Structure 1
């Protein structure tokens, strides 16, 4: 079945897709894939389906859809999923599948052994509880993020902690991270073992160290497409061994997701994180044409899979 692609409306010209996705829109139009538009801003503001899904008519027969737009929270995705389902339009991932790939603590058990050691906490984020959670790391370096996002472009300020046992450093970096995230904090805090990755350069804007990272999209447990992550980086090594990650990908409870991997300085490979494939961007240098061509050729076959457990 040919999927329908759901884009966000442009905030200035609501009759057209958001300009930020113009390369993907052009690729979709070239291939003749059907499209729909939703109002992301209305969804985020908490307005009803009569606003964020306006002008979307009910389908005569059930259709499969893939959202390609800005990131949304779990509750916002559920509202979007339900609004489209009421119109016989079924997004490829149900809310439980979205949650599984979107939140690191939800999928960490699947990645364990392939990803840096990870701990997390929600609720009380007081410093005593944070330091208790960091005890397994000793005085090793760690990075902090929330359940979805990091502040990697504020690397020294709000991401990297040189020693997990240095209370002053932990307080400084975690405090700044929480300050910058503000109301956008996703659930709680995640701390991850810092692993030395193969360097490929430095980000020209933020000064963040760039590593040899790759993003792969997976569909129904099979590799769909992949590309280097950083356009500013120098990639001159052999391609990632995707076959090593096939078993992990097959265990992920999502039909359409991304897997970011990186080469370590010792030559081994590590999985950095997963993401829902509908809200994960194509790397800047990735060509949207081959991505959508691969999606068209694969044609997701199961329209109404058994919903996952939320």
Structure 2
């Protein structure tokens, strides 16, 4: 876990428009060397610029935000906004018409309780994340598989502390065959948004051949993501969207963009667009 003191030591100002606290995680899908591409300077006093965390997963956001506030540093996403983006039970009620029907349980449910709400197959995840994209632990096709997932849930130290969420299983347009025990890769895209404006769009499954969007598809998912961003009111947001087998698009998940990997999004262009928006430029397009 990165503490407030460490954040102060890594805090840099980018082109005089935004501050970033950067901690290298050694994961290329997440890391980006700001100093190589932008004019940067260390922040040695308090600043009125929004502060973005790029320090990996954040385990105690509220504590960190409060500690930074005492130093007159304001995170781009408030504690409420971070919670809104990070937890499905918070964002789902606001955008449920755009995503799969979902039910969550405060305590681990029985198979019978789940089957009172769903028919097979049923998709299962934690309130913050899917089980490492593992199909056997995420999709139950029958009672035996469901019982196996519930038994695993009791023992897993990543999922055990999260509320269990069941979702309607939606057939998505596949882009490749499954590999090993991973979930079927689909035509899915990650969209980064800064203050309700899309600043980056990229294919989600980067380990497979790059998937392209048509002009109309790109325009559609950007418009939808920007609408969703306004609904949930999170300044720095990620929206993951996928194309269904029937051709419609559906929201898969939301996240606080501070914690999100870039997937297939162009990192340099993303941050340049954020700088341009903060600079007051109006013609910024992803």
- C-alpha distance after superposition, 1:156-182 (max 9, x if no partner): 2x111114xx3x3321122224433x1
What is aligned with 1:223? 198
What is aligned with 1:95? 79
- C-alpha distance after superposition, 1:221-278 (max 9, x if no partner): 1212111111214524524312234322211121111000000011010000100010
Q: CA deviation at 1:201?
A: 1.0
Q: CA deviation at 1:21?
A: 5.6
Against the structure 1 CA distance between its residues 185 and 292, is the aligned structure 2 distance closer, same or farther, given a 3 Å change threshold? Answer: farther
What is aligned with 1:306? none
Give unmatched runs, 5+ long, in structure 1.
9-16, 37-56, 302-310
Taking the aligned partners of 1:237 and 1:64, their CA distance within structure 2 comes to: 32
**1:266 correspondence with 2:242:** no
**Which of 292, 295, 308 is the matching residue for 2:271?**
292
Taking the aligned partners of 1:247 and 1:106, their CA distance within structure 2 comes to: 17
Give unmatched runs, 5+ long, in structure 2.
1-15, 281-286
Taking the aligned partners of 2:120 and 2:246, their CA distance within structure 1 comes to: 17
What is aligned with 1:62? 48
TM-score (norm 1): 0.76
Aligned length in residues: 260
Matches within 5 A, 1:117-156: 117-122=101-106, 124-127=107-110, 131-137=112-118, 139-156=119-136
Q: Are the equivalent residues in 2 in contact too, given 1:5–1:34 (CA < 8 A)?
A: no
Q: CA deviation at 1:193?
A: 0.7
What is aligned with 1:40? none
**Which of 163, 169, 189 is the matching residue for 2:164?**
189
What is aligned with 2:261? 281
- C-alpha distance after superposition, 1:278-309 (max 9, x if no partner): 001100x43311111111111188xxxxxxxx
SS at match of 2:130: coil
**Which of 31, 36, 40 is the matching residue for 2:38?**
31
Q: CA deviation at 1:33?
A: 3.7
Q: Are the equivalent residues in 2 in contact too, given 1:24–1:288 (CA < 8 A)?
A: no
Q: What is the root-mean-square deviation of aligned Cα atoms in Å?
A: 2.4
TM-score (norm 2): 0.82
Q: CA deviation at 1:31?
A: 1.0
Matches within 5 A, 1:149-188: 149-156=129-136, 158-163=137-142, 166=143, 168-180=144-156, 182=157, 185-188=160-163
Q: Which runs of 4+ in 1 moved over 6 A?
A: none
SS at match of 1:275: strand
Taking the aligned partners of 1:251 and 1:3, their CA distance within structure 2 comes to: 24
